[in-house]
Amino acid sequence: MMSSEVDLNGVPLTMLWTLHNRASESKRADAILRDPDCERIYDSIAFDYHRHFGAPDGTHAVRSKRFDDVIRPWLAAHPGGTVIELAAGLETQFQRCDDGLVHWLCVDVPESIAVRARFLPASPRCRYLPISALDLTWLDEVDPARGVFVTAQGLFMYFRPEQVQQLCTAIIERMPGVELMFDTIPPWFSRKTMRGYRKTPHYQAPGMPWGIRASELPELVRGWSPRVSEVRITGFAPAHGILATTAPLFAALPVLRDIPPAIAHVRTAPDART
């Protein structure tokens, strides 16, 4: 197989970190997520993943599966609906979840979209928009007639808290009835990255300014808009090993619940709630 080099830095480089975890998980005999397109891309890029990111732990595969498990039933209930994938990177969610009807819009910064297009060409039902998620002009590209679902994997932690609020409020207010799903990191990990977190001696993760306790998310999100009707929070952990087996304990005990990263699934009402 021919290898291809990519030139990425800063936050866009993290797309290779998540690719490393997802593809390595997919290749396992006991994988929790099968992803042939992810494996293909992983093997096609000339990059020393282990030198930069260390041993894979499957965390990002778990995250992707959690998103898949929510998006698939939403697609069944909204045939021909639209999914907007913020910070799409090299995520292959469209390829895993495509039902032949969905309209998908991948939004990411130009350098990330350029790499994505090399390995996952756009199509009439999976379009690419090379702008930051904070550039709200992407909202003008969305037809909300058959329902809208917005996902943001591995994105909001790189924004400041006020940027997250402004973006999510715009999404909720501009698209009544929208569903929104995103993941968060806890404050302790945010502080760690802001001090300079080295994943390995050869890779320092970008700073992640926004960290929040999972227990504080529902109240925070409900405060963004009166349209918010439901906020579901779940934690997640690596796919295998001691952290995977103890994940239910972390979820069950309030004293531990705020330690792992979390995923928020937000439902909104067509009209503002009173």
Alpha-carbon dihedral angle through residues 121, 17, 68, 241, given to the nearest 10 degrees: 150
Q: Which residue has the higher pLDDT, 188 or 272?
A: 188
Instruction: Label residue 273 exposed, middle or buried (CB < 10 Å: 0-12, 13-18, 19+).
Output: exposed
The model's pLDDT over 54-89, given as tens digits with 9 standing for 90+, comes to 999 889 999 999 999 999 999 999 999 999 999 999
Six-digit token string for 46: 């000339």
Task: Give the pLDDT band (50/70/90) at residue 4.
Answer: confident
pTM confidence score: 0.93
Over residues 119-135, the mean pLDDT reads 97
Secondary structure of residue 204 in the 3-state scheme: strand
- pLDDT on residue 237: 73
Q: Is 87 within 8 Å of 155 (Cβ atoms)?
A: yes
Q: Which residue has the higher pLDDT, 7 or 190?
A: 190
Q: Which residue has the higher pLDDT, 152 or 3?
A: 152
Question: How far is 153 from 116, CA to CA, in rounded Å?
Answer: 15
- pLDDT on residue 271: 77
Domains of the chain plus CATH, in order, are 61-268 (3.40.50.150)
Q: Is 159 within 8 Å of 242 (Cβ atoms)?
A: no
The DSSP annotation for 13-77 comes to HHHHHHHHHHHHHHTSTT-SS--HHHHHHHHHB---HHHHH-S---HHHHHHHHHHHHHHHHHHH
The model's pLDDT over 171-213, given as tens digits with 9 standing for 90+, comes to 999 999 999 999 999 999 999 999 999 999 999 999 999 999 9
- pLDDT on residue 144: 92
Phi, psi of 190 (to 5 degrees): -60, -50
Q: What is the mean pLDDT of the chain?
A: 92
Secondary structure of residue 249 in the 3-state scheme: helix
* pLDDT surpasses 80 at 274: no
